[in-house]
Amino acid sequence: MSAATGDVASFVIIAAIVLLSISLDFIQEVRAQDAVEALRRSVAVQATVRRDGHAVSVPIDRLVPGDIVELIAGDLVPADCRLLESRDLYVNEALLTGEPYPAEKQAGDLGPGSSKTGAVEATGAANAVFAGTSVISGTATILVCRTGARTALGHLATSLAQKPPPTAFALGVRRFGMLIMRFTMFMILFVLVVNVSFQRPLLESLMFAVALAVGLTPELLPMIVTVTLARSATQMAKRRVIVKRLSAIHDLGAMDMLCTDKTGTLTEAAIRLTRSVDGHGADSEQVRKLACVNSHFESGMKSPLDEAILAACSFDMSGWRKIDEVPFDFERRRVSVLAEHDGVRLLIVKGAPEDVLRLSGRYARPDGQEATLDDATRRAFEATLDGLGAQGFRALGVASHKVDASHATATVSDEADLVFAGFPVFLDPPKASAGATIRAMAAAGVTVKVLTGDNEQVSRHVFQEIGVPVTGVLTGEALTQLSDEALIGQIRKVNLFCRVNPQQKHRVLLALKRLGHVVGFMGDGINDAPALHAADVGISVDGAADVARAAADLILLEHDLSVVNDAIASGRRTVQNVSKYVLMGSSSNFGNMFSMAGAALILPFLPMLPIQILLNNLAPPGNLWVVAGAGSLPSA
């Protein structure tokens, strides 16, 4: 407008001011983003690649066609790849196909008539895996064929590039922006009406009104917010918390509900096999032997319970041979291995004790004979299980049955009429600091709810050991019977959810969000990925499965609830610092601009030239100080 009116001097000065302001903003934003990117790369998803005859870990964005990659359960598939070798491989392809059930993949050539045209159509190929999918169970060796935009996921990028729902932080900034816009529009109209009524030059009055609008706007707000959040992310990294999404720091500070698993947060995650007992509670070496065979031949990523079983195995496995396997999944909650020893083929099932008992029709007596598992005996076995849980022990169920020598394939339908053997019994001691941390978080306004796959007795014992009261319990079975409305009605008083599967965890989080809570979720397993994605703040650990780390907003380098408590305090300090700048900058700008607008009513001339207003807005002592020390404002 200055240039159009021939005021070249004002045009040059205004252009210099705008250029200086943009340069400051750009430099600070770039520095902040570089710092965050460096932190994000420190926890980037890695792939195990064979290069120069050695297996090395490289970031998945460094893969090239021709690389040979090894996959295990929990890994993200890094690119579109051909299977070279596979073993009991099941892949979640829901992102590409919409199918919720895992797809089985096998190495080999496509049969005649199979679709080979088009990246998206090829997702049905049984001998290939695709970027954006994840390994549920099994192992594989793959050959990278397409990366980046050339993958099937890349072809779908346009349809998948939907903006995520706004966070609490984004909504707050938007509401503040609308408030400033309403004040600005009102002031422009007010100044114009006043000056026109005084018969002052229209163009001069318009320039003055626009300058007042610019002066009212806290134009440094985006830079201050970014720099403050980036500085907080750097400080949190020193406390062993890596921030992947900057705005998650604000959401972390606003969080009032934390849902977490029990293992590693309330317990030490140092699981060890203490005993192996039959259904009546007597020690049984046969139970230990069957559990060892099952865990030894189980493919994919071993669970901590499997590792504890293998660590306690002491007998020779050389006489055993694996025939087939039904991999573990989180719906069945068990894994079955078909193995052979001395010409006898045996299906060995290990999993959640309630489910294994339900599938058993017989049981092994101490003399080695089999007997019918009647109702009275079943109740006695359940009482043994409850007694172990009441003492704080975790247990798995182990059962088996013989099959014909011609039986070469294991299926889910084989998991019936089993011979129940007993319970491998584990101990995971409670973490001494957990109770104090939960109480400190409650005092700070953050409620902790535990979502676990363990049974109620074990979980209650852990709560008792750490000194935290159980206010209410919901089991996965009971939760299935509740509608969403009924769940919302009960969820306020429940702080312990037992035997819940991934879908039920997701339901609990959505119910809490519907009640208006800002919800965080802490998890590290393959089954935790949906809940991590649904939470306002997803928290995982550095040693978690790839899919869990990819879905999380924060990565803990130390698996401890006290680290989360420290991170929440840091997030709240950051929110306070941003709020201080908003209050300081807005009140200062509004006071100055309102004074000049009021003075225009009294003085027979404009109190300040537009160029003077812009200079005053760019470089008051407060703004210069904030630019120099953004993010280090003292806490309230």
Provide the pLDDT confidence category of residue 267 given band limits of 50, 70 and 90: confident
Does 618 fall in a domain?
yes
Which residues are paired to 49 by β-bridges?
Answer: 56, 69
d(CA 581, CA 127) in angstroms, rounded, equals: 57
- Mark whether 219 and 80 lie in a shared domain: no
> Is it the case that residue 382 has pLDDT exceeding 90?
yes
Cα–Cα nearest to 326, from 75, 19, 90 = 90
DSSP β-ladder status, 537-541 and 554-556: parallel
Which of 539, 570, 601 is the last residue before a domain boundary? Answer: 570
CB atoms within 10 A of CB 462: 26
- Mark whether 189 and 262 lie in a shared domain: no
d(CA 445, CA 450) in angstroms, rounded, equals: 16
- Mark whether 199 and 329 lie in a shared domain: no
The widest CA-to-CA distance across the chain, in whole angstroms, is: 111
pLDDT > 70 in the chain, percent? 86
> Is it the case that residue 408 has pLDDT exceeding 80?
yes
pLDDT > 90 in the chain, percent? 27
What is the signed CA dihedral for 461, 462, 466, 471, rounded to 10 degrees?
A: -70
Active-site choice (88, 261, 306, 553): 261
Query: Which residue shows structure tokens 């983003």?
Result: 33
- Mark whether 294 and 370 lie in a shared domain: yes
- Mark whether 384 and 309 lie in a shared domain: yes
Cα–Cα nearest to 525, from 337, 297, 269, 310 = 269
- Mark whether 594 and 549 lie in a shared domain: no
Return the top range by mean pLDDT from 371-380, 428-437, 529-538.
371-380
- Mark whether 256 and 327 lie in a shared domain: no
Q: What would the mean pLDDT of 288-313 be, rounded to a whole number?
A: 87
Buried b (16+ CB within 10 A) or exposed e, 249-266: bbbbbbbbbbbbbbbbbb
Provide the pLDDT confidence category of residue 437 given band limits of 50, 70 and 90: very high
- Split into its structural domains, the chain has a count of 4
Provide the pLDDT confidence category of residue 621 given band limits of 50, 70 and 90: very low
Provide the pLDDT confidence category of residue 495 given band limits of 50, 70 and 90: very high
- 184: its two tokens: 């600005």
Does 232 fall in a domain?
no
Tell me the H-state helices in 104-218: 152-155, 157-160, 168-197, 202-216
Domain containing residue 406: CATH number: 3.40.1110.10
> Is it the case that residue 467 has pLDDT exceeding 70?
yes
30 vs 537, more confident? 537
Does 621 fall in a domain?
yes
Does 499 fall in a domain?
yes
Please state, in angstroms and as integers, the Cα–Cα distance from residue 159 to each residue in 88, 97, 148, 404, 460, following that order: 32, 13, 16, 51, 46
Catalytic (active site) residue 306:
no
> Is it the case that residue 302 has pLDDT exceeding 70?
yes
- Mark whether 306 and 388 lie in a shared domain: yes
pTM score over 0.75 = no
Query: Which CB contacts under 8 angstroms, 24+ apart, belong to 303-309?
Result: 304/263, 304/269, 304/271, 305/271, 305/394, 305/396, 305/424, 305/426, 307/271, 308/271, 308/272, 308/273, 308/426, 309/273, 309/424
- Mark whether 262 and 279 lie in a shared domain: no
- Mark whether 181 and 314 lie in a shared domain: no
- Mark whether 16 and 56 lie in a shared domain: no
Domain containing residue 443: CATH number: 3.40.50.1000
Which residues are paired to 397 by β-bridges?
Answer: 351
Structure confidence at residue 626 (pLDDT): 44
- Mark whether 67 and 141 lie in a shared domain: yes
Q: What would the mean pLDDT of 382-403 be, rounded to a whole number?
A: 91
Domain containing residue 55: CATH number: 2.70.150.10
Quote the domain boundaries for residue 294: 272-427
- 478: its two tokens: 């009971």
Which of 137, 160, 183 is the last residue before a domain boundary? Answer: 160
408 vs 26, more confident? 408
